[in-house]
Amino acid sequence: MQDRRQFLSASLTRSLLLMGGGWLTASFDGPTGTGTPGDPAADLARIRDILAAKTPVKWVFVGDSITHGAKHTFGARSYPEIFGERIRWELRRVRDVIINTAISGNTAGDILGDYEWRVRQFAPAVVFIMVGTNDAGEKRGISVDKYKSQLIELVRRIRSEGAVPVLQTPNTVLLEKATGRERIGEYIEAIRLVAAAEGTILVDHWQQWTAQGEKNILELHKWLNDELHPNGRGHDQMAKTLFRALNILDPSAFTGKDHELDHM
């Protein structure tokens, strides 16, 4: 057990050092094609108005295995499910519908290719996008530029249909074990650059997990089930980060408190 902790500590420390060593160098020359950039402050105000109104809406989550929430939570709620608890129970929006169409192994291109089924058919008010961990895989052969253009297309499709797009970075990974994802930092930076260029809300889980690792690396280990996937504790933290970004975190509510999951 001690050897495993030392290995995990060394792995995550290396990840943090790499992030501080200037390897997040993805460049961005601006969005391609046409499209009017949004305004994250206006998007936040729109979400606030949605929550204040009585009209029920649909919230869609798209992404890969992290958002899918399969296997690695061991039955604990994934962050979209915790979001549903916050919206439909704590905020008493019981007629709202939270839809999670994330699929394990997916990339941004997969979501674009299945956009009609995964997003458009639901006519959502808000769409949360978290993708990149698979796009960064060396075997996928997806360049940073292609990934950026696909993110831009996703954001613009969502906006053109009247919904609010919300971009999210994924959680940090253990680079020592995440073979083939040594350049993932460039894809994380691409998300941030696209969010800035397109004027979307950005929920930066990567930044929050990095800060936690610098503060208490052993505590961060408790948020992961393997080198890539958050466990129940990790999803709980991701939900809180999302709530903070949307200004709906309530530390006194069940979803705003820290919970020890004995079975994790």
Residue 4, domain member (yes or no): no
The residue-averaged pLDDT of 11-40 equals: 49
Please check whether residue 20 lies inside any domain of the structure.
no
What are the pLDDT digits (tens) for 37-90? 899 999 999 999 999 999 999 999 999 888 978 877 677 799 999 999 999 999
**φ, ψ for residue 203, nearest 5 deg:** -105, 105
In-domain check, residue 213: yes
Q: Which of 124-138, 178-192, 193-207 has the highest mean pLDDT?
A: 193-207
Structural domain boundaries, residue 102 = 39-248
Residue 261 lies in a domain: no
To which residue do tokens 């950026």 refer?
148
φ/ψ of 189, rounded to 5, equals -65, -35
Query: What's the whole-model pTM score?
Result: 0.83
Query: Which pLDDT value is given to residue 15?
Result: 44
Given a contact cutoff of 8 angstroms between Cβ atoms, the answer to whether 209 and 220 are in contact is yes
Indicate the pLDDT class of residue 206, thresholds 50, 70 and 90. Answer: confident
Please check the confidence at residue 159 and state whether its pLDDT lies above 90: yes
Would the pLDDT of 102 be above 90?
yes
In a domain, 168, yes or no: yes
> Domain with 183 in it: what CATH number?
3.40.50.1110
pLDDT tens for 216-249 read 777 777 888 666 678 888 888 899 999 999 999 9
Report the candidate in 52, 74, 28, 76 with the shortest Cα–Cα distance to residue 195: 28
Decide if pLDDT at 125 tops 90: yes
Number of domains in the chain: 1
| Domain-located, residue 8 | no
Length of the chain: 264
pLDDT > 70? residue 208: yes
User: Does residue 138 register a pLDDT over 70?
Assistant: yes
> What string of H, E and C letters represents the secondary structure of the chain?
CHHHHHHHHHHHHHHHHHHHCCCCCCCCCCCCCCCCCCCHHHHHHHHHHHHHCCCCCEEEEEECHHHHCCCCCCCCCCHHHHHHHHHHHHCCCCCCEEEECCCCCCCHHHHHHCHHHHCHHHCCCEEEEECCCCCCCHHHCCCHHHHHHHHHHHHHHHHHCCCEEEEEECCCCCCCCCCCCCCHHHHHHHHHHHHHHHCCEEEEHHHHHHHHHHHCHHHHHCCECCCCCECHHHHHHHHHHHHHHHCCCCCCCHHHCCCCCCCC
Does residue 260 lie within any of the structural domains? no
Residue 49 lies in a domain: yes
Token pair belonging to 41: 């402050």
User: Contact at 8 Å (CB) between 200 and 43?
Assistant: yes
Q: Average the pLDDT over each of 169-178, 202-211, 227-236 and give the range with the smallest value.
A: 169-178
